Amino acid sequence: MQQGKQETAMTAKVRVLVVDDSVFFQRRITDILQRDSSIEVVGHAGDGLQAVTAARKLNPDVITMDVEMPVMNGINAVKRIMAESPTPIIMLSAFTHEGAKATLDALDAGAVDFFPKPQSGFNSSDLIEKQLLQRILALGLKRQILKERATGLQKQTNREHQRRGGYKLVVIGASTGGPVAMQQLLSALPADFPLPLLLVVHMPESFTPAFAARLNAQCNIGVKEARDGDVPQRGQAYLAPGGKQMTLQQQGSRVEIRISNSLPTQTYRPSVDVTMGSAGLVYPDGVLGVVLTGMGADGKLAAQQLKAGGSTIWSQDEASCIVYGMPQAVEKAGLSDRVLPLTEIGPQLVKAV
């Protein structure tokens, strides 16, 4: 996003509808959001049915949605809202195994992101509050830009450096909007896809097992949560475990996946830079890296390393991103060999390898 465009878009406040059956949580979330002068809470709803009505009436830029509510739960509310008055929805969910499954259902229904809602209360740290505000603002900004552009977002100029073959591995990284984007991309790959894939999505530890199982059930290729010592196989995707770091290492004649604890200095756990960078050390000119939707710039450093070694980088285009942060960082640095809409990345991967 060019700075001028961002400043113009943010002159209008991001209007948020808060949905939760607990008055305590409504107030707590509202208090957090009101700490940023760029955000305005325009309404509250105590169940899914109220949320559907409020979304239609208030036309907010972003909705925060609880999962478990009376009358109509969050998943069904998301379905109704996306059918009647499409709005970016961020789910506030418990980071448990059951919460993960419900949240993934909500993402399937049309929600674009999720955020932790501790069962003991929303006693979040300053860092967590800051992250929530950043996500709300990013989603609201994208919504406002779409409203302002009558002709829609334009596709970026494509460098179209189309290397064919010679790859050893595909590494795909994503953050905000990543679970849905990853599912759509992988669904386009055939069961006999000739390369292994490493997947990195910024997700908590309790989510990645359920997400890997869901992808495995929905895609033709095999998908699993990576384990330490896995040997990458063709037609198999390995999802980095939440809270950990996944690297690729040469062990004698074998190439293995290593899973390790994250360092205190590592912001992203897992990190696209860590995984993609390690792949470039093993296969300097044999990696096809793909950077999908997400906040921040995770993946940019590794993209620089891969390009220096002769590997290839693709990035998702602005129009199809939920948040054009990570792909933008790669594209603005001149590192993207191809800039593609999400719907084209999977089919183009099949052709490229």
Query: Which residue numbers are catalytic?
Result: 175, 202, 298
CB-based contacts of 163, cutoff 8 Å, min separation 6: 312, 337, 352
Among residues 274, 309, 280, the alpha carbon closest in space to that of 173 is found at 274
Could you tell me the sign of the dihedral formed by the alpha carbons of 104, 107, 113, 114, in that order? negative
The set of residues, in sequence order, having a beta carbon less than 8 Å from that of 105 and lying 6+ positions away, is 75
C-alpha–C-alpha distance, residues 221 and 171, integer Å: 15
How far apart are the C-alpha atoms of 91 and 20, rounded to whole Å? 10
Separation of CA 245 from chain center: 17
Runs of H (alpha helix) within 34-117: 48-58, 74-84, 97-109
CB of 145 closer than 8 Å to CB of 9: yes
Please check whether residue 283 is in contact with residue 169, taking contact to mean a CB–CB distance below 8 angstroms: yes
**Nearest alpha carbon to residue 34 among 132, 170, 164:** 132
User: Residue 124: what residue type?
Assistant: S
- The structure tokens listed for 119 are 């069962």
Assign 3-state DSSP to the chain and report helix, strand, coil percentages, each to 5.
Answer: 40, 20, 40
Instruction: Please give the radius of gyration of the chain, using alpha carbons only, rounded to the nearest integer.
Output: 20
- Asked if 140 and 259 count as a contact pair (C-beta separation under 8 A), the reply is no
Amino acid in the structure at residue 247: T
